[in-house]
Amino acid sequence: MANLLLFITRSFFKLCSFSLSILFLISCSSFPSTEAYDPLDPNGNITIKWDIMSWTSDGYVAVVTIYNFQQYRHIQAPGWKLGWTWAKKEVIWSMMGGETTEQGDCSRFKGNIPHCCNKHPTVVDLLPGTPYNQQIANCCKGGVLNSWTQDPATAASSFQLSVGQSGTTNKTVRVPVNFTLKAPGPGYTCGPAKIVKPSRFVTPDGRRETQAMMTWNVTCTYSQFLAQEAPSCCVSFSSFYNDTIVPCSKCACGCQNTSQPGSCVESKASHIAPVVNSYTPLVRCTSHMCPVRVHWHIKLNYKEYWRVKITITNFNYNMNYTQWSLVVQHPNFDNLTQSFSFNYKSITPYTAINDTAMLWGIKFYNDMLLEAGPLGNVQSELLFRKDKATFTFEEGWAFPRRIYFNGDNCVMPTPNVYPGLPNASSHQLTSALGLLVTLLAAMALLFGHA
Ligand SMILES: *[C@@H]1O[C@H](CO)[C@@H](O)[C@H](O)[C@H]1NC(C)=O
Ligand SMILES: *[C@@H]1O[C@H](CO)[C@@H](O)[C@H](O)[C@H]1NC(C)=O
Ligand SMILES: *[C@@H]1O[C@H](CO)[C@@H](O)[C@H](O)[C@H]1NC(C)=O
Ligand SMILES: *[C@@H]1O[C@H](CO)[C@@H](O)[C@H](O)[C@H]1NC(C)=O
Ligand SMILES: *[C@@H]1O[C@H](CO)[C@@H](O)[C@H](O)[C@H]1NC(C)=O
Ligand SMILES: *[C@@H]1O[C@H](CO)[C@@H](O)[C@H](O)[C@H]1NC(C)=O
Ligand SMILES: *[C@@H]1O[C@H](CO)[C@@H](O)[C@H](O)[C@H]1NC(C)=O
Ligand SMILES: *[C@@H]1O[C@H](CO)[C@@H](O)[C@H](O)[C@H]1NC(C)=O
Ligand SMILES: *[C@@H]1O[C@H](CO)[C@@H](O)[C@H](O)[C@H]1NC(C)=O
C-alpha cells in the first residue's frame, strides 16, 4: 500500500513537472529572439550581386545590384548605405546611379581625379529626378527598397562603378571584404563575398544572351536585436463582447523616465529642442512608450462570418512610415473573405498551416502612416469566414498569435488579461473540473498498469 501511495505521488509529481516544463517552454518562446532566424521568413535576406561587365586598362566596370529577398521587411527613406573594404589599393574612377558619401584623400592623383579614394567607401543611392545621363536601370530611388511580397519589381536597386588600380583579369581581381549594409541604421550583418557563376543577361528582345566577366554575391541578414534593443511596437485588444480594453503592456518598449526629461513628449509643440537625429523616435508619453501601436478589435459576430477592425497608431513625432507593412498570424487567415482598405497577401500560401498574412496600405490612400497626431493612424476591417470546426470566441482564440510592424515583432499583451466571454467564470470552473477529471483518468490508467 505504501508503495502504491509512493507511486501515485511520483506520477503526480511527474505530471506536474511535465506541465511546468510546458509552461516554461511557452514562456521562453514568447521572449523576443536575438537571432537572425525568423520563422515566418526563414530564407529572408538581402543579396548583393556584383557583376563585372567589362575590363578596362587598369581595372573594370561593374554593376552592383541589391536585391531585397525579404518577404515583409522593406528599407524606407532615407534608404540603404552599402559599405565595403577594398582588398588592395583600388579607387573608384566614376559612378552612375549611385555615389560615395566621401571622396577621401585623392591627393596622389594629378589631372584625372577619382570619384573616391577611400579604402572603406560607403555608397548611397541617387535621388529620384537625377539627370538621365547619371542614371542606370533600377537606380535613383533614394535608397528605398520594397519588400519582395509588396512589389518584387521595386525590391532591387542598382548602381555602376568603374574601378581602377585593381586586377584586370578574373585571376588578379581581388574581391572586397567586410561588406556592411545600413538601412540606414544597424540591423544587417553581411557574410563574405562568394565568387559565383557569372550572371547571364538576356537582351530585351530575348534574342541574345550575354554574360558577366565575373560575379560575386554577398548575403546580408537582419536581426531585430541588432537594429534596436527595445521593441518598437505593441499590440492592444478589445471586443464587442466585453468592455475591457486590454492596453499595450506597460513599459512594452521602455519605461517613462521622470529623471530624464525629453525621453518622451506630451505633444509636438511641447518639444523645443532641435532634432539631432530624426531617425531616433520622438515618442508621445504613454505607459508603453512604443512608437507604434496595433489595435485588434473584434467588432461583429455574424452567423457565418466574423469581423475584425485593425487600427495602427503612430506615436512617433519624428517619422512618417512610408510603405508600412503588417504581418499577422491568426489561424483564420486561411478563410479570410475580405480586407476592406489594406492590401492583403498570404505569406504561407502553400504550407499546411496557411495562417500568416501580410497587410499593407493602398497606394496614395493609406500607404503612409503619418507622424503622431490626429492623422497619425490607418485602419481597416477584415471579414473572416467561420470554420465551424475551429471557430470560437473562447480563450482568446479570436485574437492574433503574432504581429509584426515593418518586420519587427510587436509586444503582445499577456494571455491572462485577454478579454473574456461574459460567462468566463463558469467556463474556467468547467475547465478546472475538466483538468481534474483528466488528471484522475491519467492516474487511473497508471494505476491499472501498475
Ligand atoms: C536569399 O534569398 C533567396 C530568395 O529567397 C534564396 O533563394 C537564397 O537561398 C537566400 N540566400 C541565403 C544565403 O539564404
Ligand atoms: C576565369 O576565366 C577563365 C576563362 O577565361 C575561366 O576558365 C575561369 O573559370 C574563370 N575563373 C573565375 C574565378 O571566374
Ligand atoms: C574585416 O573585419 C574584421 C572584423 O571586424 C577585421 O578583423 C578585419 O581586419 C577586417 N578586414 C579588413 C581588411 O579591414
Ligand atoms: C547570386 O545572386 C543572384 C541574385 O540574387 C542569384 O540569382 C544567384 O543565384 C546567386 N548565386 C548564388 C550561387 O547564390
Ligand atoms: C532614468 O534616467 C537616468 C539618467 O539618464 C538613468 O540614470 C536611470 O537609470 C534611468 N532610469 C530608468 C528606470 O530607466
Ligand atoms: C510627414 O508628412 C507630413 C505631410 O506630408 C509633413 O508635413 C511632415 O513634416 C512629415 N513629418 C516628418 C517627420 O517627416
Ligand atoms: C491560403 O489562404 C488564402 C486566403 O486566405 C487562399 O487564397 C489560399 O488559396 C490558401 N492556400 C491554401 C493552400 O489553402
Ligand atoms: C477554410 O479554409 C480551409 C483551407 O483553405 C478549407 O479547407 C475550408 O473548407 C474553409 N472553410 C470554410 C468554411 O470556408
Ligand atoms: C471581460 O474580460 C475580463 C478579462 O478576461 C474579465 O475579468 C471580465 O469578467 C470580463 N467582463 C465581462 C462583463 O464578462
Lowest mean pLDDT among 12-26, 72-86, 149-163: 12-26
Q: Look at residues 380, 385, 416, 418 and name the one whose alpha carbon lies nearest to residue 294.
A: 380
The helix/strand/coil state of 107 is coil
User: What is the predicted pLDDT for the residue at 419?
Assistant: 85
Residue 2 vs residue 308, higher pLDDT: 308
The grid cell for 301 is 459576430
Topology adopted by domain 231-268+281-425: Immunoglobulin-like (2.60.40)
Residue 9 has pLDDT above 70, yes or no: no
Q: What average pLDDT does the structure give for the chain? A: 85
Ligand 9 proximity of 425 Cβ (cutoff 6 Å): no
Residue 152 vs residue 448, higher pLDDT: 152
225-239 tens-digit pLDDT:
888 878 999 999 999
Contacts with 106 (C-beta within 8 Å, 6 or more apart), sequence order: 91, 113, 114, 116, 117
Atom of ligand 9 nearest to the CA of 244: 1
Residue 415 vs residue 64, higher pLDDT: 64
Residue 5 has pLDDT above 90, yes or no: no
**Which residue CA neighbors atom 2 of ligand 7 most closely?**
334
369-413 tens-digit pLDDT:
999 889 999 999 999 999 988 999 988 999 999 999 999 999 999
User: What is the predicted pLDDT for the residue at 85?
Assistant: 98
**Which residue CA neighbors atom 6 of ligand 9 most closely?**
420
Ligand 8 proximity of 304 Cβ (cutoff 6 Å): no
Beta strand ranges found along 185-281 (DSSP E): 188-190, 194-196, 200-202, 209-211, 214-222, 233-239, 242-246
User: What is the predicted pLDDT for the residue at 154?
Assistant: 94
Percentage of the chain beyond pLDDT 70 is 82
Q: Can you give the pTM of this predicted structure?
A: 0.82
Distance (angstroms) between ligand 9 centre and the Cα of 243 equals 8
Ligand 4 proximity of 49 Cβ (cutoff 6 Å): yes
The helix/strand/coil state of 152 is helix
Ligand nearest to the CA of 245: 9
Residue 162 has pLDDT above 80, yes or no: yes
User: What is the predicted pLDDT for the residue at 445?
Assistant: 44
The grid cell for 402 is 503574432
274-311 tens-digit pLDDT:
554 556 788 999 999 999 999 999 999 999 999 999 99
Q: How many CA atoms lie within 13 A of 234 on its CB side?
A: 21
Q: What CATH number does the domain located at 46-226 have? A: 2.60.40.290
Looking at residues 172-197, what average pLDDT do you find?
95
User: What is the predicted pLDDT for the residue at 434?
Assistant: 43
User: What is the predicted pLDDT for the residue at 271?
Assistant: 57
User: What is the predicted pLDDT for the residue at 264?
Assistant: 86
Residue 3 has pLDDT above 70, yes or no: no
- Ligand 2 pocket, CB under 6 A: 170, 195, 214
Cα–Cα dist 36/54, whole Å: 36
**Which residue CA neighbors atom 9 of ligand 8 most closely?**
387
pLDDT band at 10 (very low <50, low <70, confident <90, very high): very low
Helices (H) and strands (E) in the chain, counts: 3, 26
Residue 19 has pLDDT above 60, yes or no: no
Residue 118, phi-psi category: left (phi > 0), alpha (psi -120 to 50), beta (remainder): beta
* 233-239 and 292-301 strand pairing: parallel
Highest mean pLDDT among 115-119, 266-270, 421-425: 115-119
Distance (angstroms) between ligand 9 centre and the Cα of 220 equals 46
Ligand 8 proximity of 120 Cβ (cutoff 6 Å): no
Q: Which residue among 50, 52, 170, 199 has the greatest number of ligand 2 atoms within 8 angstroms of its CB, and so is best to mutate?
A: 170
pLDDT band at 423 (very low <50, low <70, confident <90, very high): low
Ligand 1 proximity of 42 Cβ (cutoff 6 Å): no
323-334 tens-digit pLDDT:
999 999 999 998
What ranges do the domains of the chain cover? 46-226, 231-268+281-425
Give the full edge-to-edge strand order of the sheet including 402-405.
342-346, 356-361, 325-329, 402-405, 408-409
> Is the fold of 46-226 the same as that of 231-268+281-425?
yes
* 233-239 and 214-222 strand pairing: unpaired
- 395 vs 7, 155, 303, 419, CA distance in Å? 34, 40, 20, 9
Ligand nearest to the CA of 198: 2
Element (H, E) at 12: helix 2-29
Ligand nearest to the CA of 120: 3
Contacts with 346 (C-beta within 8 Å, 6 or more apart), sequence order: 333, 334, 354, 356, 357, 358
User: What is the predicted pLDDT for the residue at 158?
Assistant: 97
Neighbours of 394 (CB within 10 A): 12
User: What is the predicted pLDDT for the residue at 40?
Assistant: 85
The grid cell for 345 is 497577401
pLDDT band at 4 (very low <50, low <70, confident <90, very high): very low
Residue 432 has pLDDT above 90, yes or no: no
pLDDT band at 270 (very low <50, low <70, confident <90, very high): low
- 438 vs 130, 195, 254, 392, 441, CA distance in Å? 71, 60, 42, 22, 5
The helix/strand/coil state of 196 is strand
User: What is the predicted pLDDT for the residue at 273?
Assistant: 54
User: What is the predicted pLDDT for the residue at 235?
Assistant: 97
User: What is the predicted pLDDT for the residue at 101?
Assistant: 97
68-90 tens-digit pLDDT:
999 999 999 899 999 999 999 99
User: What is the predicted pLDDT for the residue at 256?
Assistant: 86
Residue 420 vs residue 313, higher pLDDT: 313
Confirm if 406 and 337 have CB atoms less than 8 A apart: no
